[in-house]
Amino acid sequence: MSEKIANTLALKSTEIFSSYMKDINKNLHLTSKKRFKKNSINVWLPSMTLSEERSFKKNWNSTSDSIAAWLSSNLKAEGIVFVKSLKKFKKINRLGDLQKKNIIDKNVSTYLKSFKGEIKITGLNILKILEKNNNWDSCIKDFGDLEL
């Protein structure tokens, strides 16, 4: 199986999981377009767009990290938050160091090169951060910074 096909199948599997999540929480808004509903929990289904997108690297070094970075860059988002399965992160984290430790995928830097927004990272402590703060701006201050 080629890496391109494997990547497409991996994207599709995330979409299958999204359908399962939608079955549990009817408030989720699933979309394959890069248009989102305001005041909704939007879940982007990437396979249709990314399988045809030439600028997206279709290999094992592109995970959900790369998908999020690509989408944020293309939407010209104000920021991106990577939520990883570690307990917590330092206040300042270097992307290259996290990539060497396989915490963030190798292709993310490709999509963040021209990204102008804020780049943050947090771990399993996100639940405590969300409980402690009463708005998103306060939460972001407790996340770690990610430097390119």
Indicate whether 66 pLDDT > 90: yes
Tell me the pLDDT tens digit for each residue of 100-133.
999 999 999 999 999 999 999 999 888 888 889 8
Does domain 61-148 bear CATH number 2.60.120.280?
no
Q: How far apart are CA 46 and CA 43, in angstroms?
A: 9
- The domain locations on the chain are 1-59, 61-148
Indicate whether 88 pLDDT > 80: no
Structure tokens at 102: 């396989």
Supply the DSSP symbol for 71.
H
- 8 A C-beta contact, residue 106 and residue 67: no
Work out the average pLDDT over 27-34.
90
Residue 142 neighbours by CB under 8 Å, 6+ apart: 122, 129, 132, 133
Model confidence at 87, pLDDT cuts 50, 70, 90, reads confident
Q: What is the pTM of this model?
A: 0.86
Q: How far apart are CA 108 and CA 93, in angstroms?
A: 14
- 8 A C-beta contact, residue 108 and residue 65: yes
Phi, psi at 7, each rounded to 5°: -65, -45
Q: What pLDDT is stored for residue 134 in this prediction?
A: 82
